[in-house]
Amino acid sequence: MGVVLAARSVSAGYSGVPAIHDVDIEINTGEMVLLAGPNGAGKSTTVMTLAGAIAPLVGDVEVDGEKCRLPLYRRTRGGLGVITEQRTVFMNLTVSDNIRLGRGKPEDVLKYFPELEKRLKVKAGLISGGEQQMLSVGRVLAANPQVVLADELSLGLAPIVVKRLLSALRLAADGGAAVLLVEQHVRVALDVVNRGYFLRRGRIELHGTREELRHSDEAIQAIYL
- The stretch 92-115 carries a mean pLDDT of 92
Look up residue 184 and give its amino acid. Answer: Q
Cα dihedral 106, 111, 113, 119 in deg (nearest 10): 30
Residue 220 maps to a domain: yes
CA dist 195 and 198 (Å) reads 10
Query: Quick one: pLDDT at residue 21?
Result: 97
Query: Quick one: pLDDT at residue 151?
Result: 92
- The stretch 179-190 carries a mean pLDDT of 94
Query: Quick one: pLDDT at residue 4?
Result: 94
Q: What is the mean pLDDT of the chain?
A: 93
What is the tens place of the pLDDT at every residue in 23-81? 999 999 999 999 999 999 999 999 999 999 999 999 999 999 999 988 888 998 889 99
> The pTM is what?
0.93
CA dist 182 and 47 (Å) reads 8
Q: Are 61 and 213 in contact (CB under 8 A)?
A: no
Residue 12 maps to a domain: no
Structural domains in the chain (count)? 1
Query: Quick one: pLDDT at residue 104?
Result: 83
Query: Quick one: pLDDT at residue 156?
Result: 85
- The stretch 194-202 carries a mean pLDDT of 97
Q: Residue 61: what are its φ and ψ, rounded to 5°?
A: -100, 130
Residue 171 maps to a domain: yes
Query: Quick one: pLDDT at residue 61?
Result: 96
- The stretch 148-174 carries a mean pLDDT of 93
Residue 5 maps to a domain: no
Residue 155 maps to a domain: yes
Query: Quick one: pLDDT at residue 1?
Result: 67
What is the tens place of the pLDDT at every residue in 75-99? 988 899 999 877 788 999 999 999 9
Residue 16 maps to a domain: no
Structural domain for 161, as ranges: 30-53+70-224
Query: Quick one: pLDDT at residue 101?
Result: 87
**CATH value at residue 105:** 3.40.50.300
Residue 43 maps to a domain: yes
Residue 3 maps to a domain: no
